[in-house]
């Protein structure tokens, strides 16, 4: 017999029975000695992690309360931006910021001045900066003056002439972003600059794309290419028709653009027809558009055109009408078209089932909840009455 068991046997003979049971239970439940340092280390690590997490949360909360959170995500990347963003500067102070040597705060000052709108007190200072500043300061001042509509044609011509002087991509991005659809009245000025030089021909289309309300822009980018013998030009015109509503929501359903897209639906080139069918998708529900798309879906020889026609119909036409058309496509030669038609039919059946069973299911659920509530109240009353008796 091992020595340890002999010692335990002798102790059991000497000690009382209760003491023996206590010692045996402690021996069975005791944690091995070599595990204790590991447990202590894990506990200490958990406490440290918890304390660090609390410290980080408290620091973040303090930063937000003090207004420093904005500085942490400020895109200007300048330490001075905190002072400017948290202080309401006057227009003259903002112009002073613009007049400093070029830094990232110049663009911020331009944004603030444009947001303030027309300010007669700032006009003289802006005009001086537009005349006497460097190229970057002149461009910023002219952008603000153009937005304030201070001699806008003159300001726009100055900006267009500076395109070849300021060798900065940031300037062109800034210049392009300032134009809005309501500036379409200045499209002739931009268009004449667009035709003036090869560099302007490459850089000014993004500006012209925002001026869809101008008939000049629609004629150049859509209506003129329709008569082109090049299928690539006609496809580009269809893509421009699709782009117009994205740039200017007022162009949704524009009659000249929709009529141009409808004229391309019967184009001999498959790519042109595909782009035309896509373009109709972005111009809202019109009876002539839906009828043209349905005819394309039934009779077009190209599977890609039929597929895009079905997708456009899903976006424009009533669901029941699209489901009826999809039911006719079970024998289509294209697997993609058949798959899209099956998806349409499945969704239509789900909507029909929801209409048929939605109201009864809601009524049944309401009745079940009411019965359970009444039953629960009845059981509660029974228990209370039994306790009282």
CATH 1.25.10.10 segments of the chain: 212-353
pTM above 0.75, yes or no: no
Q: Which residue has the tokens 């905190």?
A: 82
205: nearest Cα among 224, 215, 220:
220
CA 222 to each of CA 183, 263, 309: distance values in angstroms, whole numbers, following the listed order: 19, 12, 21
Plot region of 314 (φ>0 → left; ψ -120 to 50 → alpha; else → beta)? alpha
Provide the CATH number for the domain formed by 212-353 in this structure: 1.25.10.10
- Mean pLDDT: which of 167-181, 195-209, 239-253, 356-370 is highest? 239-253
N residues, the chain: 389
Between 216 and 53, the higher pLDDT residue: 216
Euclidean distance between CA atoms 108 and 115, whole angstroms: 11
Plot region of 87 (φ>0 → left; ψ -120 to 50 → alpha; else → beta)? beta
Q: Does residue 273 have a pLDDT over 90?
A: yes
Q: Does residue 31 have a pLDDT over 50?
A: no
pLDDT, tens digit, for every residue of 51-104? 777 777 777 677 656 554 444 444 344 444 444 444 577 888 888 887 777 666
Q: What percent of the chain has pLDDT over 70?
A: 68
Q: Does residue 280 have a pLDDT over 60?
A: yes
pLDDT for residue 362: 61
Q: What percent of the chain has pLDDT over 90?
A: 13
What's the rounded mean pLDDT across residues 251-256?
Answer: 88
């Amino acid at each position: 017999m091992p020595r340890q068991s002999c010692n335990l046997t002798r102790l059991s003979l000497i000690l009382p029975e209760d003491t023996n049971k206590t010692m045996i239970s402690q021996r069975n439940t005791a944690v091995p000695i070599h595990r204790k340092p590991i447990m202590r280390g894990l506990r200490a690590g958990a406490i440290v992690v918890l304390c660090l997490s609390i410290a980080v949360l408290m620091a973040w909360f303090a930063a937000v309360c003090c207004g420093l959170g904005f500085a942490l995500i400020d895109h200007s990347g300048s330490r001075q931006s905190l002072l400017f963003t948290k202080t309401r500067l006057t227009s003259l102070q903002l112009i002073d910021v613009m007049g400093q040597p070029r830094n990232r705060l110049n663009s911020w000052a331009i944004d603030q001045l444009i947001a303030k709108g027309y300010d007669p007190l700032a006009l003289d200072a802006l005009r001086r900066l537009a005349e006497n500043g460097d190229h970057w300061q002149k461009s910023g001042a002219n952008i603000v003056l153009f937005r304030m509509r201070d001699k806008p044609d003159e300001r726009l011509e100055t900006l267009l002439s500076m395109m070849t002087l300021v060798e900065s991509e940031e300037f062109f991005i800034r210049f392009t972003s300032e134009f809005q659809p309501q500036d379409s009245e200045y499209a002739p000025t931009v268009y004449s600059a667009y035709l003036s030089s090869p560099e302007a021909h490459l850089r000014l289309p993004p500006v012209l794309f925002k001026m869809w309300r101008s008939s000049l822009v629609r004629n150049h980018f859509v209506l003129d290419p329709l008569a082109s013998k090049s299928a690539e030009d006609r496809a580009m015109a269809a893509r421009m028709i699709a782009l117009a509503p994205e740039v200017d929501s007022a162009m949704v359903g524009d009659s000249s653009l929709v009529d141009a897209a409808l004229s391309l639906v019967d184009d001999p080139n498959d790519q042109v027809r595909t782009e035309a069918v896509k373009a109709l998708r972005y111009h809202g529900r019109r009876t002539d558009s839906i009828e043209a798309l349905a005819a394309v879906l039934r009779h077009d020889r190209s599977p890609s055109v039929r597929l895009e026609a079905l997708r456009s119909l899903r976006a424009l036409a009533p669901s029941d009408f699209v489901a009826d058309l999809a039911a006719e496509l079970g024998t289509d030669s294209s697997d993609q078209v058949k798959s899209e038609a099956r998806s349409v039919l499945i969704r239509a059946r789900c909507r029909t089932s929801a209409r048929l069973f939605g109201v009864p299911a809601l009524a049944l659920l309401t009745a079940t909840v009411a019965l359970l509530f009444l039953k629960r109240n009845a059981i509660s009353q029974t228990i209370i009455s039994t306790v009282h008796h």
